[in-house]
């Protein structure tokens, strides 16, 4: 009897289950008929949903029969709601096409980007709020995390080779944009559109970055004092409202070991609280003697969306780096190929320990459909502990003061210092229509501050030993003041580096043998206040972006001392840009912007000729932006001219400065990013730059290209995946980049040669595992990424490989 009852119950359950079972399948595309990868499909009544795959396909199974409201959404597109009815056992096949909605774009970047391609359609760096790149009247180059991962690179210096008009300057976090230098210690680089610092010496890992982008030209009208060439913005990975987890392990040349983890998803059932955690560990040597890097990065991010009108985001990046500071390769005098590119000037007991934290809090609140408020605060803390043996930027000298071509004069630094940077950005965003014109108004206030507290100091040893027990620069006119060795040459305070016997020169050094002088770092403080207003006016196919910023900069001379003095500089910075949509996939644009960089308090000393006006710059740029292959591939063409004046030069034979310099950069740039086919991705760039000193210290036009700025450079990277057949899951990548000859110094004939590099990669995916092999510099080309002179050269890596195993879950 019990058996019969149980059997009947099971039979009824099976029948009921069979009656209830239904499903929905389909595809989601965007307005350009491109797959809306990872868009959301949600059944409101059941509180159930799914995400489309990278090709836009989705499937919802085991749905009870009934009537439902189906919501289809994606960031940057208008959300759609559809009423559907499901019958028992029905499989409903639906296709949806989303339409782009600029008004739905985020004011603060809170929710992560779901796309998985080389293409990025929007950015925050060009207009304070998210704007479609095609509507921004200024050139932006970028690399998404997918491109970065496919190339197997982890440093911004390697990433920027994908950008037109951008190249590496040294081993440091030190970049040239359109002929103008910016670096990680200048406090003009950005993280999520906010001022920060990377410490300059070492390039941090890039595993926590969603993309790296460069806004070309002066950006002072947006962010205050900045380089006229452009600004680098590092965009961190933000939480997603769906679970995505991945881990990877890499090993390769130079004893490289790397482990990365990326974990994201909702913390609550209603997806009002999202998280993301990126972790990175690296232990690697180098092709350079005695060099190594041990890095730990922990980067958590939390997004809180209590209502559809309020969003809060918290980011933390902690980076601990242990390494040695590599000051570059030195050669025999005027002989570029006389020493191996592996040779460094470091000693075995040198070290560089750096610790950085960056905390960001961002808030966006929507008061009405047309009015919102955004506020972001970022705090950067940097701690440096350094011991280094390095060149003194000259060759050793004999008793006559003549250079010894195989000996490098050396010096020693022992340094400890800290730096703290604060940046606050607040603005109101108001959208209004007046007649036929749509306005997107922004009015805001920025505050930036950098402080170096008391306690920073440096012990420095250099020069030649003197008869009174000291050390100083050798004076051939007073040899009686110096001590001499058995060869009648002055005795160095720090032993010369012998280029003919580098092994002996790199041994452990006794730090008690040197005569030191003390230099203090800090205390220092500067801050700036900026107020601005901006309006993006739209009328039919025409968009006009106009803005004005007032910046007030204060530098404390003799900060925290009895004779402290505030040095003020100010500037009004206009910006105007026009974009016109010729067709649905071609936009033309033109822009004019002004920029400035204040002179520091140290340059305001009347004994040096100060005070001085800020560096002033302006740019005129015209170009076009277009999309091809149904919106899968984006292209940008830019023609520009940048001018900067008020460069400081020392008067001949004195320390007195004159503000007489002027320089100019002009050129053409092309960038391509996206897909030609669904399984064929490409990123390419080319630039021609003519950057020269228009007026030098003598008031003459030098005619020499600015240092480390190639006239021509280009890049290509492409990946092809096989999606069907017996080779399904297999992919291949190929890349090349070239750089023409570069000048190292304005007043020197020293140059570094042109080069072309070839790189390749193989990929294999099976289930949730991926296997990737990258081979770089296939032809083992000797080359240099930058340098100051033949004593401080920065060679590129020889042939190398990296094997990566990844798992997603």
With a pLDDT cut of 90, the percent of the chain lying above it is 66
33 and 95 belong to one structural domain? yes
Q: Is the pLDDT of residue 659 over 90?
A: no
Sign, Cα dihedral of 227, 297, 715, 741: positive
Domain boundary among 100, 135, 150: 100
Q: Where are the alpha helices (DSSP H) in 594-642?
A: none
Q: For residue range 172-213, what is the model confidence (pLDDT) as tens digits?
A: 989 999 999 888 777 678 999 898 887 788 888 899 999 999
Domain CATH number, residue 161: 2.170.130.10
In a domain, 147, yes or no: yes
Contact 669, 139 (CB under 8 A): yes
What pLDDT, on a 0 to 100 scale, did the predictor assign at position 101? 52
114 and 203 belong to one structural domain? yes
Domain CATH number, residue 92: 2.60.40.1120
Q: For residue range 61-82, what is the model confidence (pLDDT) as tens digits?
A: 888 888 999 888 775 567 788 9
Domain boundary among 206, 236, 266: 236
Please indicate whether residue 114 or residue 401 has the higher confidence score (pLDDT): 401
- SS3 label, residue 334: coil
* Run of H or E residues at 145: helix 145-151
What pLDDT, on a 0 to 100 scale, did the predictor assign at position 33? 63
Q: For residue range 90-127, what is the model confidence (pLDDT) as tens digits?
A: 888 888 988 765 434 455 565 666 667 899 988 888 88
- Closest to 31 measured CA to CA, from 74, 77, 95: 77
Q: Is the pLDDT of residue 628 over 60?
A: yes
Q: Is the pLDDT of residue 697 over 90?
A: no
| Beta-bridge partner residues of 386 | 352, 415
> Confidence class of residue 32 from pLDDT cuts 50, 70 and 90?
low
Q: How many domains does the chain have?
A: 2
CB burial of residue 137 (10 Å; 0-12, 13-18, 19+): buried
**How far is the C-alpha of 496 from the C-alpha of 394, rounded, in Å?**
11
Give how far Cα 725 sits from Cα of 680, 722, 729, Å: 17, 8, 9
42-55 as b/e, with b when 16 or more CB fall inside 10 Å? bbeeeeebbbbbee
Q: How far is CA 758 from the centre of its chain?
A: 23
Q: Is the pLDDT of residue 435 over 80?
A: yes
What pLDDT, on a 0 to 100 scale, did the predictor assign at position 114? 62
- Closest to 595 measured CA to CA, from 551, 660, 647: 551
Joined tokens for residue 256: 């490289």
Contact 271, 241 (CB under 8 A): yes
What pLDDT, on a 0 to 100 scale, did the predictor assign at position 36? 77
- Closest to 743 measured CA to CA, from 777, 784, 709, 769: 709
Q: Is the pLDDT of residue 12 over 60?
A: no
- In 3-state terms the chain splits into helix, strand, coil percentages (rounded to 5) of 10, 55, 35
**How far is the C-alpha of 387 from the C-alpha of 353, rounded, in Å?**
9
229 and 110 belong to one structural domain? yes
In a domain, 75, yes or no: yes
- Mean pLDDT in the chain? 89
What pLDDT, on a 0 to 100 scale, did the predictor assign at position 385? 97
What pLDDT, on a 0 to 100 scale, did the predictor assign at position 330? 96
- Closest to 150 measured CA to CA, from 748, 608, 734, 757: 734
Give how far Cα 770 sits from Cα of 165, 221, 280, 765, 766, Å: 33, 44, 18, 4, 6
DSSP states along 3-48: HHHHHHHHHHHHHHHHHH--EEEEEEE-TTS-B-TT-EEEETTTTE
Contact 409, 397 (CB under 8 A): yes
Secondary structure letter of residue 505 according to DSSP: H
214 and 130 belong to one structural domain? yes
Domain that holds residue 31: 20-100
What pLDDT, on a 0 to 100 scale, did the predictor assign at position 566? 87
What pLDDT, on a 0 to 100 scale, did the predictor assign at position 75? 57
In a domain, 314, yes or no: no
Centre a 10 Å sphere on the Cβ of residue 298 and count the other Cβ atoms it contains: 17
Q: For residue range 320-331, what is the model confidence (pLDDT) as tens digits?
A: 999 999 999 999
In a domain, 62, yes or no: yes
Contact 84, 46 (CB under 8 A): no
What pLDDT, on a 0 to 100 scale, did the predictor assign at position 76? 55
432-453 as b/e, with b when 16 or more CB fall inside 10 Å? eeeeeebebbbebebbbbbbbb
71 and 44 belong to one structural domain? yes
**How far is the C-alpha of 24 from the C-alpha of 59, rounded, in Å?**
6
With a pLDDT cut of 70, the percent of the chain lying above it is 92
87 and 119 belong to one structural domain? no
What pLDDT, on a 0 to 100 scale, did the predictor assign at position 42? 85
What pLDDT, on a 0 to 100 scale, did the predictor assign at position 602? 61
Q: Is the pLDDT of residue 338 over 90?
A: yes
DSSP states along 56-103: SEEEE-S--SEEEEEEEE-TTB--EEEEEEE-TT-EEEEEEE--B-GG
What pLDDT, on a 0 to 100 scale, did the predictor assign at position 51? 78
- Closest to 375 measured CA to CA, from 436, 425, 437: 425
Please indicate whether residue 560 or residue 712 has the higher confidence score (pLDDT): 712
In a domain, 203, yes or no: yes
**pTM value?**
0.85
Q: For residue range 40-50, what is the model confidence (pLDDT) as tens digits?
A: 888 888 878 88
Please name the residues in contact with 406: beta carbons below 8 A apart, sequence gap of 6 or more.
Answer: 332, 498, 499, 500
In a domain, 625, yes or no: no
What pLDDT, on a 0 to 100 scale, did the predictor assign at position 301? 96
Contact 190, 125 (CB under 8 A): yes
Contact 203, 155 (CB under 8 A): yes
**How far is the C-alpha of 788 from the C-alpha of 691, rounded, in Å?**
17
Please name the residues in contact with 212: beta carbons below 8 A apart, sequence gap of 6 or more.
Answer: 142, 143, 148, 156, 159, 160, 206, 232, 233, 234, 235
224 and 140 belong to one structural domain? yes
Q: For residue range 716-770, what is the model confidence (pLDDT) as tens digits?
A: 999 999 988 889 999 999 999 999 999 997 656 799 999 999 999 999 999 899 9
**How far is the C-alpha of 432 from the C-alpha of 254, rounded, in Å?**
58
In a domain, 673, yes or no: no
43 and 84 belong to one structural domain? yes
What pLDDT, on a 0 to 100 scale, did the predictor assign at position 100? 60
What pLDDT, on a 0 to 100 scale, did the predictor assign at position 172? 92
In a domain, 54, yes or no: yes
96 and 110 belong to one structural domain? no
Secondary structure letter of residue 202 according to DSSP: S
Q: Is the pLDDT of residue 480 over 90?
A: yes
Contact 761, 776 (CB under 8 A): no
Domain boundary among 217, 236, 255: 236
151 and 83 belong to one structural domain? no
- Closest to 806 measured CA to CA, from 773, 765, 769, 775: 769
Q: Region 800-805: what's the mean pLDDT?
A: 98
Cis geometry, peptide bond prior to residue 340 (ω within 30 degrees of 0): no
Give how far Cα 507 sits from Cα of 349, 414, 500, 502, 503, Å: 8, 18, 15, 9, 7
Give how far Cα 294 sits from Cα of 151, 322, 353, 356, 599, Å: 21, 5, 10, 14, 36
Q: Is the pLDDT of residue 526 over 70?
A: yes
110 and 232 belong to one structural domain? yes
56 and 137 belong to one structural domain? no
Q: Region 161-168: what's the mean pLDDT?
A: 95
């Amino acid at each position: 009897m019990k058996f019969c009852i149980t059997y009947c119950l099971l039979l009824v359950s099976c029948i009921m289950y069979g009656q209830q079972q239904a499903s929905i399948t389909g595809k989601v595309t965007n307005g350009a008929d491109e797959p809306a990868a990872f868009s959301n499909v949600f059944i409101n009544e059941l509180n159930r949903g799914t995400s489309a795959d990278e090709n836009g396909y989705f499937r919802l199974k085991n749905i009870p029969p009934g009537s439902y409201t189906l919501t289809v959404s994606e960031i940057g597109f208008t959300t759609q709601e559809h009423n559907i009815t499901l019958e028992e056992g029905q499989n409903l096949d639906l296709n949806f096409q989303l339409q782009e909605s600029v008004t739905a774009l985020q004011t603060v970047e809170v929710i992560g980007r779901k796309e998985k391609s080389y293409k990025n359609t929007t950015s925050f760096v060009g207009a304070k709020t998210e704007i479609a790149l095609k509507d921004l009247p200024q050139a932006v180059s970028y690399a998404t995390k997918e491109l970065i991962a496919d190339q197997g690179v982890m440093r911004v210096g390697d990433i920027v080779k994908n950008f037109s008009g951008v190249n590496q300057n040294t081993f440091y976090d030190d970049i040239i944009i359109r002929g103008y230098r910016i670096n990680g210690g200048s406090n003009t680089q950005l993280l999520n559109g906010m001022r920060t610092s990377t410490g300059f010496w070492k390039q941090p890992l890039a595993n926590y970055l969603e993309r790296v982008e460069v806004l070309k030209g002066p950006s002072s009208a947006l962010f205050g004092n900045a380089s006229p060439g452009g600004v680098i913005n590092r965009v961190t990975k933000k939480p997603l409202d769906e679970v995505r987890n991945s881990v990877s392990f890499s090993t390769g040349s130079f004893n490289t070991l790397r482990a990365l983890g990326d974990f994201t998803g909702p913390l609550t059932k209603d997806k009002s609280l999202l998280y993301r955690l990126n972790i990175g560990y690296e232990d690697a040597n180098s092709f350079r003697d005695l060099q190594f890097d041990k890095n730990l990065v922990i980067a958590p991010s939390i997004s809180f969306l209590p209502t559809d009108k309020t969003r809060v985001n918290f980011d933390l990046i902690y980076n601990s780096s242990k390494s040695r500071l590599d000051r570059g390769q030195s050669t025999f005098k005027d002989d570029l190929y006389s020493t191996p590119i592996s040779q460094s000037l470091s000693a075995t007991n040198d070290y560089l320990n750096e610790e950085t934290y960056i905390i960001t809090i961002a808030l966006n609140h929507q008061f009405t459909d047309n009015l919102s408020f955004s506020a972001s605060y970022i705090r950067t803390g940097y701690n440096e502990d350094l011991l280094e043996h390095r060149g003194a930027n000259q060759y050793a000298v004999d008793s006559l003061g003549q250079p010894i071509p195989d000996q490098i004069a050396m010096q020693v630094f022992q340094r400890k210092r800290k730096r703290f940077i604060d940046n606050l950005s607040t603005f109101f965003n108001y959208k209004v229509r007046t007649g036929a014109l749509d306005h997107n108004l922004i009015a805001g206030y920025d505050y930036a501050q950098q402080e170096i507290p008391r306690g920073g100091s440096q012990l420095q040893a250099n020069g030649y030993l003197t008869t009174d027990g000291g050390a100083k620069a050798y004076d051939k006119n007073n040899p009686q003041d110096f001590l001499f060795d058995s060869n009648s040459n002055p005795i160095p305070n720090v032993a010369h580096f012998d280029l003919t016997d580098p092994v002996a020169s790199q041994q452990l050094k006794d730090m008690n043998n040197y005569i030191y002088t003390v230099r203090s770092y800090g205390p220092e403080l500067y801050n700036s206040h900026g107020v601005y207003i901006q309006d993006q006016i739209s009328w039919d196919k025409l968009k006009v972006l106009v803005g004005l910023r007032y910046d007030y900069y204060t530098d404390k001379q003799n900060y925290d001392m009895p004779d402290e003095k505030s040095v003020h500089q100010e500037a009004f910075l206009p910006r105007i840009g026009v974009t016109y949509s010729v067709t649905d996939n071609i936009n033309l644009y033109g822009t004019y912007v002004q920029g400035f960089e204040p002179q520091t308090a140290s340059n305001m000393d009347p004994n040096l000729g100060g005070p001085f006006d800020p560096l002033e710059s302006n740019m005129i740029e015209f170009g076009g932006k277009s999309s091809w292959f149904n919106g899968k591939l984006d292209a940008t063409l830019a023609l520009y001219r940048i001018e900067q004046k008020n460069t400081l030069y020392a008067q001949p034979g004195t320390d007195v400065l004159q503000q007489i310099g002027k320089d100019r950069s002009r050129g053409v740039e092309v960038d391509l990013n996206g897909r030609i086919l669904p399984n064929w991705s490409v990123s390419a760039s080319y630039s021609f730059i003519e950057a020269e000193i228009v007026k030098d210290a003598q008031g003459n036009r030098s005619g020499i290209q600015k240092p480390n700025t190639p006239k021509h450079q280009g890049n290509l990277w492409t990946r092809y995946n096989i999606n069907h057949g017996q080779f399904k899951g297999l992919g291949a990548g190929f890349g090349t980049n070239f750089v023409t000859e570069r000048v190292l110094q304005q007043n020197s004939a020293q140059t570094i040669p042109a080069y072309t590099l070839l790189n390749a990669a193989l990929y294999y995916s099976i289930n949730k595992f991926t296997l990737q092999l990258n081979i770089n510099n296939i032809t083992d080309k000797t080359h240099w990424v930058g340098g100051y002179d033949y004593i401080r050269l920065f060679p590129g890596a020889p042939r190398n490989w990296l094997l990566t195993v990844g798992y997603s879950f």
